[in-house]
Amino acid sequence: MKVSKEFKTGLVVIIAIATLVIGVNFLKGINVFSSEFTIYAEYDVVSKGLNTSSPVYYKGLRVGQVRSTKYNPDDPSKVIVEIGITHEELSQRIPEGSVARITSSLLGEVSIDLELTDTTDVYVQDGGKIVGLIDPSIAEALDKELAPVKRKLENLMGSIDDIVVSIGAFWDTSAAYTIDESLYEVKAAISKFSMTATKINLLIDNETERLGRIFANVEGITSNLKASNAKITAIIQNVEGLTDSLVKSDFKLVIQEAKNTLHHVSSVLKSINEGNGTIGKLIHDDSLYTELIITNKRLQNLVDDLQAHPERYIHFSVFGKKAKGVQLSPADEKKLRIILDTAGRN
C-alpha cells in the first residue's frame, strides 16, 4: 500500500511534537515514562524562589520535586503546591499530618523539606494533602520584600491618577486630529502587509510544483538506497571476510622467514667481503685477471703470427705434391680463414 505524502508529513510532525514534549519535560526534571506519587500542600504565601522543578528533600536526600504552584480555586488567598515524589520507598508511606516546609539554603536555593510524623499509621493517598509551612526566616524575608512593593504600588497609583488628569487636559481637537493621522498610517501599514502576504502566497503557489519535484527526487533516492540494500550488505560482508582472512594469516611466520633470509644473505655478503669462497677470492685476488690479460696477449700474438706466416702452421699441396703438416678439408680451411679475418678486424 502506497503511503501518501500527507500521512508522512503528519507522522513526522507528531513525532517531532512528542520529542519536543519529552525533551522539555526532561529539562524540567520530569520523566514522562515513570509513574510518580503526587501530594499537595497549601500555603498562605510562598517564597518567590519556589518554582517548578524546585527540589524536595527528606532527611537531606532528594526524594522529589515541585510540579506546579497555583492558587486554590476555592480560596484564592491560598497557594497550592503540587509535589511529585519519585522515591519509590517513600511513595505510599507518608503519614497524615506530615509537614512540607519551605526552606532556603545559604546559597539562596529554595526547596521543600518533608517532616514525616510518626504518631499515626494512616498514610496519605495519591493526590492527598499534607500541611504546608514556611520557614520563619523566609517569612521575615518575604515581609521585608513585600513592604517596599506595597509602597511602590501606592506611589504608582498616585502617578496613574496624575497621568489620567494630564490626558484629560490634553484631550482636545488637535490631539484627536493627531490620533486620526496615526490611525490612517496604521491602516496604510496594514494594507502594505496585506499586499506582502498576497505576494508570498503567489510565490508559494508558483514554487509548489518545484517543491513536489524535490520531494519526488528525495523519495527516489531513498528508494534506490533501499533497493541497493542487498548489494551494500554483500559488499560489507566481502570486506568483513577479507579482513578476517588477513587477521587469520600468519604474518609472524612470514616476517620470521624473511628475517632469516636477510640474515643468511647478510652472512654470505660478509663472507664474500672477507675474501672467503670462490666469489670472495675472485673479488679480492687479481691474479686471475692478470693471467687472463697475459693469456689474451699471447693469443693475440699467435693470431697475428698465424696471419703473417700461415705456412708455418698449415701446408697446402700444390700440383699433386704430397702435403706436409696438418691435413685440412676445404670446409675446415674456410672456417679457419673466417676466424683469421675476424681476429684481424678486432
Indicate whether 116 belongs to any domain. Answer: yes
Q: Are residues 126 and 226 in the same domain?
A: no
Residue pair 252/258 in contact (Cβ under 8 Å)? The answer is: no
CA 66 – CA 38 distance, rounded (Å):
10
Tell me, yes or no, whether 241 and 334 share the same domain.
Answer: no
138/168 same-domain check: no
Residue 24 forms part of a structural domain: no
CA distance 272 to 280: 4
Final residue of a structural domain among 202, 219, 249: 249
148 in a structural domain: no
What is the distance between the alpha carbons of residues 7 and 89, in angstroms, rounded to a whole number?
45
Q: What is the pLDDT of residues 268-300, one digit of tens each?
A: 888 878 777 777 777 777 777 788 888 888 888
User: Is residue 270 included in any domain, yes or no?
Assistant: no
Does residue 162 surpass a pLDDT of 60? yes
Instruction: Kindly state whether residues 188 and 217 are assigned to the same domain.
Output: yes
Cα gap 254→252, rounded to integer Å? 6
Per the domain annotation, does 273 fall within a domain?
no
What pLDDT digit, counting tens, does each position of 30-89 carry?
555 556 789 999 998 887 778 888 899 998 888 888 988 899 888 888 999 999 888 878
Q: What SS3 class is residue 1?
A: coil
Whether 50 is in a domain gets the answer yes
Last residue of one domain, picked from the residues 231, 249, 267:
249
Q: Are residues 135 and 169 in the same domain?
A: no
What would the pLDDT profile of 300-324 be if each residue is shown by its tens digit? 887 777 777 776 666 555 444 454 5
What does the pLDDT look like over 98-152, one tens digit per residue? 999 998 876 678 889 999 888 888 888 888 989 998 887 655 655 666 667 777 7
Give just the sign of the alpha carbon dihedral 229, 234, 237, 238: negative
Mean pLDDT of the chain: 77
User: Taking Cα atoms as reference points, which of 260, 35, 60, 43 lies closest to residue 126?
Assistant: 35
pLDDT at 40: 93
Pair 39, 137 in one domain: yes
Last residue of a domain, one of 75, 109, 142: 142
In 3D space, the residue among 41, 187, 53, 159 whose CA is nearest the CA of residue 100 turns out to be 41
> Which residue bears the cell 498514610?
123
Given a cut of 50, whether residue 21 has pLDDT beyond it is: yes
- Tally the domains of the chain: 3
Beta strands in the chain (DSSP E): 37-43, 55-58, 61-71, 79-85, 99-104, 110-115, 129-134
Asked if 122 and 212 sit in the same domain, the reply is: no
Domain of residue 181 covers 163-249
Q: In terms of domains, do 128 and 176 share one?
A: no
User: Mind listing the pLDDT tens digit for each residue in 168-185?
Assistant: 665 555 555 566 677 778
* Helix, strand, coil percentages in the chain from 3-state DSSP, rounded to 5: 60, 15, 25
Q: Which residues contact 227 (CB under 8 A, 6 or more apart)?
A: none
Asked if residue 105 lies in contact with residue 111, where contact means CB atoms within 8 angstroms, the answer is yes
d(CA 339, CA 337): 5
